[in-house]
Amino acid sequence: MSNLSGNWNYPTTIRFGAGRITELPQICAELGVQRPLLVTDPGLVKLPLVEGVMENCQSGALQMGIFSDIKPNPVGRNVEQGLLMLRDGAHDGVIAVGGGSAMDAGKAIAFMAPQTQSMWDFEDVGDNWRAAQTDGILPIIAVPTTAGTGSEVGRASVIVNEALNQKIVVFHPRMLPSVVLSDPELTLGLPPHMTAATGMDALAHCLEAYCAPGYHPMADGIAVEGMRLVKDALPRAFADGADIEARAHMLIAASMGATAFQKGLGAIHALSHPVGALYDTHHGLTNAVFMPYVLAFNRPAIEERLQRLARWLALPDPGFAAVLAWVLELREQLSIPHTLAALGVDDQHLTQLAEMAPRDPTAGGNPIPLDEHNSRELLQAALEGRLNT
């Protein structure tokens, strides 16, 4: 484990390695943060992990507040409540501790600190972000405790607009955390089912980024190495949660996925976002269910790419079929359901979901253009478990 440590500045400053959570007070001092608001989720706030972070910071003479009223799929109201606490406590920075929900909410709270406009005005459309007030956006320290979303290295937050029943991607370059404190020891307590769901989210990010059209060799390189790490480490972390090496590889693979998807995402996310908004399903788990159906749908456009990927992953008989077989085998190994129905999704909102998917900001990165018709076909296939290869 001694060689699994490093200081990186791509895409932001990342302090990676076991035990590095103790550096948190020093990081706050370097950023000039004296009164941080710790943003986490209702599950984590009850665990010794968060208590240890609080004690560590308070020993460094930091005056901290804590906010944890966040849904698994954060909603606008969560950000508003966190913003009230931030302002009432005169906090001067945000420490986001947790998985994607805490990261997204924490980044949004720090970004909204000086804003007078609605958060929805900064949806990732066109150059909406340019209207933001930049003076007063607070520094963000990201402390991931799951290996999935990679939100710790992202410049956006995904927040549910409850009035629209729709996930909105809120974007601004200053939402990128100033420092990521990436300590694999913090992921040791993640139970197997969450290890699986979050790990498949990391895989979805790498896979969709790699398949997205356009020229971005840097993103492609990061994506394929991220997938190689997932292939090796995710089954190990699932089988033995104390495997610190596997946990370390998964933690960086998650950050790699979110770094790579600046190239684009695709139909896995475009379908998963509306399903999550309407049914409140776990994002990574929903991505995992959609993955093989979207691969099969995109096959005419990605077959050559997946042949190269299969070679990189050292799969037998390299080709599209080998990658699909690996994904299906991995899902089975991790006890991932094969259908949307197993997640509690039904056909009641099929038309609405099919209308929402092509409008999702991630849809534009799909190798084959999404429309209402083929979105409906994909949803129906995933509901019924019908994989057309």
pLDDT value at residue 50: 87
Q: What pLDDT digit, counting tens, does each position of 173-187 carry?
A: 999 999 999 999 999
Answer whether residue 60 shows pLDDT above 90. Answer: no
Distance CA 270, CA 173 (A): 22
Residue whose pair of structure tokens reads 């995933």 in the numeric block: 382
DSSP 8-state assignment for residue 75: B
Structural domains of the chain, with CATH: 6-186 (3.40.50.1970), 191-384 (1.20.1090.10)
SS3 per-residue string spanning 190-247 = CCHHHHHHHHHHHHHHHHHHHHCCCCCHHHHHHHHHHHHHHHHHHHHHHHCCCCHHHH
Give the pLDDT band of residue 8 (cuts 50, 70, 90).
low
Number of H helices, E strands in the chain: 12, 9
Cβ neighbour number for residue 262 with a 10 Å cutoff = 17
Query: For residue 74, what is the enclosing H or E element?
Result: none
Report yes or no: 184 and 100 within 8 Å, Cβ to Cβ: no
Q: Which phi and psi angles does 261 have, rounded to 5°?
A: -80, 10
Q: What pLDDT digit, counting tens, does each position of 271-304 carry?
A: 999 999 999 999 999 999 999 999 999 999 999 9
Distance CA 65, CA 91 (A): 8
96 SS3 class: strand
Cβ neighbour number for residue 27 with a 10 Å cutoff = 23
The number of angstroms, rounded, from the C-alpha of 2 to the middle of its chain's C-alpha atoms is 27
